[in-house]
Chains A and B, each alone.
Chain A
Amino acid sequence: MRVDSDLEDVRKAKSGDASAFEDLIRRHGRDVHAVCRRFTRDEHEAEDLAQEALFRAYRGLAGFREDSSFRTWLFRIVLNVGRTWWSTRRVSEAPPTRVELPSTEAETLEAMRAEIARLPDLQREVLTLRVFGGLEFDEIAELLDTTPGAARVHLSLARKTLAERLEVEP
């Protein structure tokens, strides 16, 4: 069970075992990075942001009261760090408006990045946490202070918008 091993590692890390926290990073780091990537404009920023979030989690581990799963707690930090990053950079680095239909795969993916960035905040965050963070809807609801049903609706809206703008099948 992932939750059990998480708790075991969290407890070890709290007692000073940094390698236990590294195991947690190996387990969740990719999802953290994938979510961070949605708050940033390039790979380097995403790695910086992921490191910041992970390190913040490490420093704040003593404050983790284990009343939620470690994963939910970690992604709360990721969200906070990501939102701050997003709010300080978005104004000066406004995403492109309408993206021309791409021809190569690289362009397609770039267009998709841009379109995700243009989504309304809540839709973008639900999509990010679900698709890139791999979180369950109840975890997303807890993180975004909404209900699992509402989270599903936002994901559906986000997907619909993306499919329309990119002219692909939903």
Chain B
Amino acid sequence: MNLDDLLLRLRDSESVSGDRLVAGFRLEVLRDAEAVDPEALVRGFRVDLGLERLKASESRVPTMRRPALRWWRIGVAAAFVLSFATIFVPRPRVTPPVPLARESTVDELWERAKAGDSDAEAALRPAHIRPEDDLELSIRVLARCSPPRAWGRTGADRPELVYRNARAVAPAHARQWLRANWTREDVLEAVAADLDETDARAVARAFATLPSEPAIDVLRRHRRAAAPEIRAAMARDPKPYLGLAEELAWPELTTAVARWLDEDETRFAALAALREIGDDEALREIAARWEKHAEDLYEGMRSFGPKAVGELERLARKGSRSAVECLGAIPGEKSLEALLRLAGTGVAGRPSLEALAKRPEERAFEPVLAASLGRLDRSAAAKLLARVDDDVVIPALIEALQSSRTRDRAHRLLKERTGNDFPARASEWERWWNNS
């Protein structure tokens, strides 16, 4: 035989039936009910009196006649037995520790309590309350004798009244009830104006499960107190907090949102969110993931417009052709300048020139080209000019003649482009160009 068998046998050998325990329990309840029954106490008191009298009479035995004494004893003993029997004879049903009043009694109690009878009010139990009839009275009853969950019945309909009234009467209960219920939007909405900072912190914790306008209002008003909870919740799931965190300009907002970029399912939502945030950090976060997800991030980056040029140029210099393409798709001087700078580089030169060549129609092209001419790599410039029509190149070169920094180069390029030898003066070139 092993130990488990022995333990099981021991347990089985000692087992008692549930009904036996229930019977014992009923007896305990009965005894308890009798122990506090005022009538039983009175009966017991009478018995005590009888015994006292008996003792007193026994002390006076010599003065009493024997038959009288016998009947006295019989009488006292009978009274004692009867009293004892009425105490311990079991009643037909178990009495609960807090007996509920009958319906008719409840009606009476309720009406009396409403009329101001404090005894009647003290006899009322949570099960008797009628918030629709008298909310104040219901709240007082709840506050006096019930655990917080009993507030639900009242709070279900009138959370704001329960809360406001109850805070004065039973703040601990009210707060506990509220915490159990403020995932309900109507509760939050109703009590938002009254919440203090301690409540707000708990709201912040609950907020992760209930992003709602009332909750945001609460958090906005108590942002300092609730900040740690909001930040912790935001680290788990930033989505509900975007608006709020953006409003409060929290730097970690961008980092939190950017984490979504790593997930296929959330990447586009994250891009949209980062576009909303729109700061340099958002751009850096997107750029950091460009190598892996360039195709998905392309449109998002482009939507940043000229703000994205710096990051895209940096990516392009690392050899990202898609970054150059993205730069080419961003209209404006900044991207043109960046492309011109890139045009002279080994890694991004060719795609940059291709991108530039697609944009001569752009209003900024001529001035940018003219201004950049001095910095443009010789071969890159030659390649660029070879790709762009005279209508664009010649005015740009003529403009470049105006600046001492670009004049020599523009002059040389003009000669190469037109095959004519003209003085290096813009006005003459201009006249020549217009007449030719």
Contact = CB atoms under 8 A, between A and B. Distances in A.
Interface in B1-56: 1-3, 6-7, 9-11, 13-22, 24-26, 28-29, 32
Interface in B277-328: none
A2 B334 CA distance: 70
A93 to B, nearest CB: 18
A44 B14 CA distance: 11
Given A33-B16, A34-B14, A109-B13, A131 B7 contact: yes
Interface stretch (A18-26, A71-79, A83-91, A143-151): A18-26
B100 interface: yes
A26 B22 contact: yes
A33 B25 contact: no
B94 interface: yes
Interface in A35-50: 37, 43, 46-47, 50
A119 to B, nearest CB: 13
B97 interface: yes
Prevailing SS type, chain B contact patch: helix
Give the residue among B3, B7, B20 with the most A Cβ atoms within 10 A.
B3
A25 B14 contact: no
A47 B16 contact: yes
Nearest to A127: B7
A125 to B, nearest CB: 15
A55 B96 contact: no
A112 B3 CA distance: 10
Contacts of B20: 47
Given A51-B21, A109-B9, A16 B99 contact: yes
A85 to B, nearest CB: 16
Contacts of B184: none
Interface in A131-166: 131-132, 159, 162-163, 166
B375 interface: no
Contact of A108 (B2, B6, B15, B29): B6
Give the residue among B2, B25, B97, B127 with the most A Cβ atoms within 10 A.
B25
B2 A169 contact: yes
Contacts of B95: 18
B25 A34 contact: no
Q: Size band of the B side of the interface?
A: 20 to 34
A170 B6 CA distance: 10
A105 interface: yes
Interface string A81-117: 0000000000000000000000001001100110000
A22 B29 CA distance: 11
Contacts of B97: 58-59
A43 to B, nearest CB: 7
B363 interface: no
A40 B13 CA distance: 15
Contact of B21 (A25, A105, A159, A168): A25
B168 interface: no
Nearest to A32: B21
Contact of A16 (B6, B24, B98): B98
A17 interface: yes
A163 B3 contact: yes
Given A16-B98, A16-B99, A25-B25, A112 B6 contact: yes
Contacts of A62: 147
B142 to A, nearest CB: 13
A54 interface: yes
Contact of A29 (B7, B9, B18, B127): B18
A51 B2 contact: no
B149 interface: yes
Give the residue among B6, B28, B99 with the most A Cβ atoms within 10 A.
B6
Contact of B25 (A27, A46, A51, A170): A51
A55 B100 contact: no
Interface in B82-104: 94-100
A33 B21 CA distance: 9
Nearest to A132: B11
Contact of A109 (B6, B21, B25): B6
15 contacts: A15-B127, A25-B25, A29-B21, A30-B15, A30-B16, A33-B21, A34-B11, A34-B14, A47-B21, A50-B16, A58-B25, A58-B97, A113-B10, A162-B3, A170-B3
Interface of B: 1-3, 6-7, 9-11, 13-22, 24-26, 28-29, 32, 94-100, 127, 147, 149
Given A169-B2, A170-B3, 12 more contacts: A26-B18, A30-B17, A33-B14, A34-B14, A50-B24, A51-B21, A58-B25, A59-B97, A66-B149, A113-B10, A162-B3, A168-B1
